[in-house]
Amino acid sequence: MASVIIEIRAGAGGKEAALFAADLFKMYSRYAQNQDWKQKTLDSHSTDLGGLKQVVFELKNGDVFSKIKYEGGVHRVQRIPQTEKSGRIHTSTASVAVLPKPEKTQASTIRPDQLRIDYYRASGPGGQYVNKRETAVRITHLPSGLVVTSQTARNQLQNKENAMTILEAKLLEQEELKNIEKLTKERKAQIKWARRVDKVRTYNVPQNRLTDHRIKKSWHNLADIMDGKLDKVVKTLNKFESKL
């Protein structure tokens, strides 16, 4: 799989969760740079503190899916937030979805009459990057009820293309989930650890430790990992999956 769509959403924890989502986005962006992958942001919704409520982006190159597919799931951070004055450690979460980008032949099944397309003004924190024209796009896929948006580009056409890319990936994921349900219980148990609904990692900042709960293994030097040095984590998860 040469391309993937990654969606990061802030979870429990309010503004701190949005800051954590932004940290995860930076981590994957730096890892992508280290791997010489191409990156394109498809949609982004930021906060006034520099956090991200949601970001959707594409990573592209030969081995991207084999290395990034393990990132799907609920990620949890334990640290003292920037907004915390008493020094208490808080726990916040963000969810990560890794969606294979469909090939053109797979994406061609969406009919124009199945879509409702709305245009609106792009928004941003504190008035930044707010577009006075209606360049942001919202697409509703009527048969499934899926709704996707894009507002990162400066024109409607590019935002529409970005939104369609997200929609196609989400529809493919829905189809794959249906196929998984048809598998035997044994096979489902083997692949369950890679699904997004489960808590996969804890980033414990005071203890300088990353723990992957699926394989019950921890690594230190958390700052290096957050700086995009994910190779040792990815290699360990690769070995774990090969034993399933």
CATH number, domain at 138? 3.30.160.20
Position 159 scores a pLDDT of 94
The CA–CA distances, whole Å, from 113 to 137, 142, 164, 174, 232 equal 17, 9, 14, 20, 47
Q: Is residue 32 part of a domain?
A: yes
Distance (Å, rounded) from C-alpha 168 to C-alpha 227? Answer: 30
Contacts of 187 (CB under 8 A, 6+ apart): none
Position 22 scores a pLDDT of 97
Position 240 scores a pLDDT of 81
Q: In this structure, are strands 52-60 and 38-46 parallel, antiparallel, or unpaired?
A: antiparallel
Q: In what order do the strands lie in the sheet with 90-100?
A: 38-46, 52-60, 3-10, 90-100, 73-79, 199-204, 209-212, 217-220
For 243, the token pair is: 């034993």
Q: Is residue 187 part of a domain?
A: no
Residues 74, 118 within the same domain: no
Asked if 173 and 196 touch (Cβ cutoff 8 Å), the reply is: no
Residue in the block written with tokens 């520099």: 50
| pLDDT by residue, tens only, the chain of 244 residues | 578 999 999 998 889 999 999 999 999 999 999 999 999 999 999 998 889 999 999 999 878 988 998 898 899 999 988 767 777 888 999 999 998 888 765 556 788 999 999 998 877 654 444 555 678 999 999 999 999 999 998 889 999 999 999 999 998 888 877 766 665 554 444 444 444 456 899 999 999 999 999 899 999 999 999 999 999 999 999 888 766 5
Residue 144, SS3 per DSSP: coil
Position 126 scores a pLDDT of 44
Q: Which among 81, 62, 83 is positioned nearest to 4, based on CA atoms?
A: 62
Position 224 scores a pLDDT of 96
Position 235 scores a pLDDT of 92
For 88, the token pair is: 């208490």
Residues 50, 73 within the same domain: yes
The CA–CA distances, whole Å, from 45 to 7, 27, 117, 166, 243 equal 12, 18, 19, 15, 39
At residue 45, what are phi and psi to the nearest 5 degrees?
-135, 110
Position 164 scores a pLDDT of 93
Range of the domain at 11: 3-101+194-234
Residues 114, 219 within the same domain: no
Residues 69, 94 within the same domain: yes
Position 59 scores a pLDDT of 95
Residues 149, 207 within the same domain: no
Q: Which among 50, 148, 33, 159 is positioned nearest to 99, based on CA atoms?
A: 148
Q: Is residue 174 part of a domain?
A: yes
Residues 93, 113 within the same domain: no
Q: Is residue 18 part of a domain?
A: yes
Q: Count the Cβ atoms, other than its own, within 10 Å of residue 165.
A: 23
